[in-house]
Amino acid sequence: MADGIINVLKPPGMTSHDVIAYLRGVLKTKKIGHAGTLDPDAAGVLPVFIGKATRLLEYVAEDRKSYRAEVTFGIMTDTGDDSGNVICTSQVFTPSKEQTAAALNNFLGQIMQTPPMYSAIRHQGQKLYQYARAGIEVERMPRTINIYALEVVTQGDSYLLLDVVCSKGTYIRTLCEDIARSLGMCGTISFLLRTAAGEFLLKDAATLEEIASDHRKHLLSPEQAVKHLPELFLTEKQALRLSQGVKTSIAGTNDGRYRLKAPKNIFIGIGCAEGERVQAEKIIDPFTTNYEVF
């Protein structure tokens, strides 16, 4: 099995783990993982990493994500979506466009969010949703998230359809509940679609059936995971030294993280620069040559 990434269109009704289990059989590999869990009822972009590419999972997890979400007013459930048990109801009214815009504006930028009980966050060795299913409430600490964009697609009599661009760690179910609360109503997610995860877009995603039919057609280079990082082009000697873990001086290199590119545009891994000195952070394909390193 080749190393790489597949941009999967996760269907509703499957967990992210279900998708991995299915593809593990299709691709006949054990070294496989996904970037960014999607709720079972949600659909959309789920980048799946295979082989050596799994070492780059953390870099996609850092990227911003985009969603289209529908919040229905008047009910609130224990799971935060319409598959859960109703725990709160309220009267429903249609806020003005000005009221909606003012409410959404309060959620833009850096905000604090308390993770929901129905989440995969671990507490004392167990996932929160395991406590929730047992009827146990666990205290959760609010976390800092970023909402980069929050726009109304459609406003109906009892719902809002929103486009959201957010940082990692954002729970859209909780965001929609909080938006409904700010408008004086209960609310719950009735539709959720992830439209982008970093560089991976919905328009390019493949269904499980398409992947099973011809997975190589949908296999992307591991480098696709870090396309958001600038390139640093290396000489053969520099590529060899960095592959061997040797910190290397490269004049004119600004501080920051880079995609390391050996001659012939070969991606070898990730490096960090500080004071024009570059250190390999993660080498995926070590560069080899007959050069003698001094």
The pTM of the full predicted model, rounded to 2 decimals, is 0.89
Taking only the tens place, the pLDDT of each residue in 121-173 is 888 888 888 888 888 888 888 999 999 999 999 999 999 999 999 998 899 99
Task: Determine the pLDDT at residue 73.
Answer: 97
* 4-63+199-225: CATH class: alpha beta
Task: Determine the pLDDT at residue 292.
Answer: 44
Looking at the DSSP bridge assignments, the partners of residue 113 are 143
Looking at the DSSP bridge assignments, the partners of residue 111 are 145
CB contact at 8 A, 248 and 238: yes
Taking only the tens place, the pLDDT of each residue in 26-84 is 999 999 999 888 989 999 999 999 999 999 998 876 779 999 999 999 999 999 999 89
Q: Is 231 exposed, middle or buried (0-12, 13-18, 19+ CB in 10 A)?
A: middle
DSSP state of 3: -
Query: Does residue 196 register a pLDDT over 50?
Result: yes
Task: Determine the pLDDT at residue 7.
Answer: 97
User: How are the residues of the chain apportioned to helix, strand and coil, as percentages rounded to the nearest 5?
Assistant: 25, 35, 35
Average pLDDT over the chain reads 92
Q: Where are the alpha helices (DSSP H) in the chain?
A: 16-27, 57-61, 97-105, 128-133, 172-182, 208-213, 236-243
Strand ranges in 114-186 using DSSP code E only, listed in sequence order: 122-123, 126-127, 143-155, 159-166
The arithmetic mean of pLDDT across residues 185-214, rounded, is 96
Check if 4-63+199-225 and 70-189 are the same fold.
yes
Residues identified as active-site = 39
Superfamily of domain 229-283: PUA domain (2.30.130.10)
Lowest mean pLDDT among 112-116, 187-191, 232-236, 251-255: 112-116
Task: Determine the pLDDT at residue 294.
Answer: 36
Pairing verdict, β 219-220 and 4-10: antiparallel
Supply the angle between the helices 172-182 and 97-105 in degrees, to the nearest 10. Answer: 130
Report the candidate in 67, 22, 60 with the shortest Cα–Cα distance to residue 42. Answer: 67
Pairing verdict, β 256-262 and 231-233: parallel
**Correct CATH for 70-189 of 2.40.160.100, 3.30.2350.10, 2.60.40.720, 3.60.21.10:** 3.30.2350.10
The arithmetic mean of pLDDT across residues 273-290, rounded, is 90
Taking only the tens place, the pLDDT of each residue in 26-36 is 999 999 999 88
Per-domain residue ranges of the chain: 4-63+199-225, 70-189, 229-283
